[in-house]
Amino acid sequence: MSSEKIRKMIFRSSLVITALLGLFFIKNFNQKPPVNDKEALILQGIMETTKYVHLTPKTIDNSFSAFVYKTYLDRIDFQKRFLTQQDIDKLKVFEQQIDEQTNNRTFEFFNASLPMLDAGVLKGKKYFSEFIDQPMNFSKGDVIETDADKRTYAKNDNELKAQWKNIIQFEVMSKWVQLIKDQEGKENKEGNKTEEELKADAVKDVKKRFTDWFDRVAKLRRSDRLEVYFGSITNYYDPHTDYFSPKDKQDFDINMGGKLEGIGARLTTEGDYTKVFSIVVGGPAWKTKKLDDNDVILKVTQKGKEPVDIAGMRVDDVVQLVRGKKGTTVILTIRKKDNSVVDVSIERDEVQLEDNKAKSVLLNIPGKIQNIGYINLPSFYSSFETEGGNSCAADVAEEIKKLKSQQVNGIILDLRNNGGGSLNDVVDMSGLFIEQGPIVQVKGKESKPFLHVDKDKSVLYSGPLVIMVNQFSASASEIIAAAMQDYNRAIIVGSNSTFGKGTVQRFYDLDRGISGYDEFKPLGAVKMTTQKFYRINGGSTQLKGVVPDIILPDTYHYIKTGEKDYDNPLEWTEISSVPFSQNVVLIENKQKLLENSKSRVAESKDFQMVLESALQIKQNRDQTKYPLKINDYRSMINKKNEESKKFDNLFKNEIAGLDIKNLEADMAKINRDDSNIAKNQEFIKGLKKDIYIEESLFIIRDLINLEKSFVALQPNIIKQ
């Protein structure tokens, strides 16, 4: 069966489950909620979907109440700047009642929290306005705890006011000290400001920053707070089960698919105005040549309709007005930099988001290693719900074909910081490197494991392969790394372990699951953890991740990261292994590869500097209390800065001799415009300073020189 047929079967199975859920709702939610009770309908959909679909459904009891209570309060006031202990005491009565309210589809706790939060925001804004313009005494003060998890709530309003005074003093002081340091670092001292002038600049900066922040908070709606509440409920089951509003789901689909239908402009907010932040190269706005960065949008008009004045509107609402179906026209009333006001008519079209697409280059270090292909894959994108949509597996296959045409001696696949994505694409992609066989096992709560298999006997690439990962390589990245490690097909290189996300999520559209109630739709969707995936050797990547064959130190070396750092993650489990084998490559000398790399890392000043830096980062992260007296603060910061000086050039120097070339096949796209040229230059500039790529090149050189599978390549590789 082809991968496309498997893809469609999986999607159809999701629809079948959704349809069954819809029947359940009709039967059990047969009395319509009050006219304005869309919220109860969404909660109904969330709870019933979770009950019947989640991998590990839980009882709604006092443990549920306690979790939702704490999680929601932590999230709505995570810095403890608005609510006091007196507020918390009033809400405490709900701590053991949220389970009953949820079962009854009511929101007493949530409703009680909103006026307290609104009042807290107003108090915070009042305290800030009162203190920011007052003279501050930087010779007085104790310490401030910057880690909210280590702080307790202010006991009452008086203590909250005192806390705000400390916050403002700390923010101004830290900015002031930074401005002084920046000025001291200038070579040209002409025009330098006095410390008092720099202090005034610091006050101005903090005032603007907090004013903008309060403006954003003021624009939050009940629905925004409700999404936080729903997220607190869904995260009781695991960190990846979540509620998505219709807009959030649309954004998710765009990020996953790498394309959208709209004008191809990124927007941002500045005060009450929405501005153009950047133009997507090749998109409709770019093609008009009439829209520029920093243009202010005053009105949005759908062709044939009345214009909408967007002053003061939230940027996500503006985005919804600007986006639209391919072929439709939107008219933007724009104020240009010269203050002229013009109307720009743009026909919406499909916009390709190239930044997260697979791309490749050729790597050489003359005299050491030559002609190695490098593929960068930022995410496992896929428009899996669209016929003929984007597929990262197809794109990587295309990059491999281009590299093979250059007769590369090996390929490095870089999955660092790749958070995953399409399960089907990672199965297809893994199959590019083996003849055929199992890639990953997926198991639901009651079903037998389902084996995702590469059934294509062809092998697109049979040469040396190194896969780069780090602690932020998750989900699909871990599947391919684990599969290639189990098959002994590639050498996995990276940090202590990958992220450790070994679960599978699917979206369930609440509009499809709930029949009727059209007056309340759209309702959004639930992203539900329905399965765990397991390696073909039977072990899960959940919590543990994939431990690379060769570990290279990085700046997070001593810091706990990944799934294990989440609240409430699912546990690690294992199932039976399945038979697997491949005859493409036989790697027999992993231990020697490891020893060679360890020797290079031990002798590398850069990697030893990375370890020192990682230790300092750990120490700085643990240091969360700061003095409020400026002399004490400056002394602490100066000491930290002095200790950090030795790391100033870390990752900033180009690798000696590293030569990076674009493929000839890519040059037409790269040279299409200045923006693409600049992006490519930045991409290559970053690679040239990447010590992990340098070490991966040496590892692939050793792989070729040590393994019998690659004897034919040895004359093309410089031995050392």
Residue 462 CA to its chain's centroid (Å): 32
3-state SS of 507-573 is EEEHHHHCCCCHHHCCCCEEEEEEEEEECCCCEECCCCCCCCCEECCCCCCCCCCCHHHCCCCCCCC
Find out whether the peptide bond into 522 is cis, omega within 30 degrees of 0.
yes
Residues 374 and 333 occupy one common structural domain: no
In a domain, 720, yes or no: no
Last residue of a domain, one of 352, 386, 419: 352
Phi/psi at 329 (nearest 5 deg)?
-120, 135
Query: Is the domain of 544 the same as that of 512?
Result: yes
Q: Quick check: 270 pLDDT over 80? A: no
In a domain, 34, yes or no: no
CATH of the domain at 702: 3.90.226.10
Q: For 557-624, what is the HEC assignment?
A: CCCCCCHHHCCCCCCCCECCCCCCCCCCCCCCCHHHHHHHHHHHHHHCHHHHHHHHHHHHHHHHHHCC
Is residue 26 situated within a structural domain?
no
Same domain, 512 and 622: yes
Q: Is residue 50 part of a domain?
A: no
- Exposed/middle/buried for residue 128 (C-beta within 10 Å: 0-12, 13-18, 19+): buried
- Higher-confidence residue of 260 and 516: namely 516
Counting the structural domains of the chain, the total is 3
If asked whether residues 166 and 281 sit together in one domain, one would say no
Backbone angles phi, psi at 711, to 5 degrees: -55, -40
Q: If pLDDT is split at 50, 70 and 90, which confidence band does 203 have?
A: very high
Q: How confident is the model at residue 136 (pLDDT cuts 50, 70, 90)?
A: very high
- Asked whether residue 8 is assigned to any structural domain, the reply reads no
The CA angle 616-617-621, to the nearest 5 degrees, is 115
195 & 175 share domain: yes
Residue that wins the pLDDT comparison between 5 and 510: 510
Q: Are residues 492 and 412 in the same domain?
A: yes
- Shared domain for 226 and 288, answered yes or no, is no
- Number of Cβ within 10 Å of residue 628's Cβ equals 20
The predicted-structure confidence for 220-230, as pLDDT tens digits, reads as follows: 899 999 999 99
From 352, 387, 417, give the residue that closes a domain. 352
How many CA atoms does the CB half-sphere of 624 hold within 13 Å?
9
**Do 221 and 314 share a domain, yes or no?**
no
**Do residue 623 and residue 687 come from a single domain?**
yes
Judge residue 283's burial from the number of C-beta atoms within 10 Å of its C-beta, 0-12 exposed, 13-18 middle, 19 or more buried. buried
Q: Which of 256-260, 300-304, 313-317, 673-677 has the highest mean pLDDT?
A: 300-304
Q: Is residue 644 part of a domain?
A: yes
Same domain, 478 and 507: yes
Quote the domain boundaries for residue 702.
356-713
Q: Given 323, 352, 381, which residue is the final one in a domain?
A: 352
**Are the beta carbons of 26 and 515 closer than 8 angstroms?**
yes
Residues 582 and 708 in one domain: yes
Rg for the chain, CA atoms, rounded: 28
- Residue 200: inside a domain: yes
Residues 360, 346 within the same domain: no
pLDDT at 383 over 80: no
Instruction: Output the domain CATH number for residue 277.
Output: 2.30.42.10
What mean pLDDT comes out for the span 23-51?
Answer: 70
pTM value? 0.83
**pLDDT (tens digit per residue) in 631-669:** 999 999 889 888 888 888 899 999 999 999 999 999 999
Q: Which two tokens stand for residue 19?
A: 């349809």
Give the CA dihedral 231, 236, 238, 242, nearest 10 degrees.
-20
Hey, is 461 helix, strand or coil? coil
Establish if 127 belongs to a structural domain: yes
- d(C-alpha 250, C-alpha 267), whole Å: 16
Residues shown for the chain: 720
**Quick one: what percent of the chain has pLDDT higher than 90?**
63
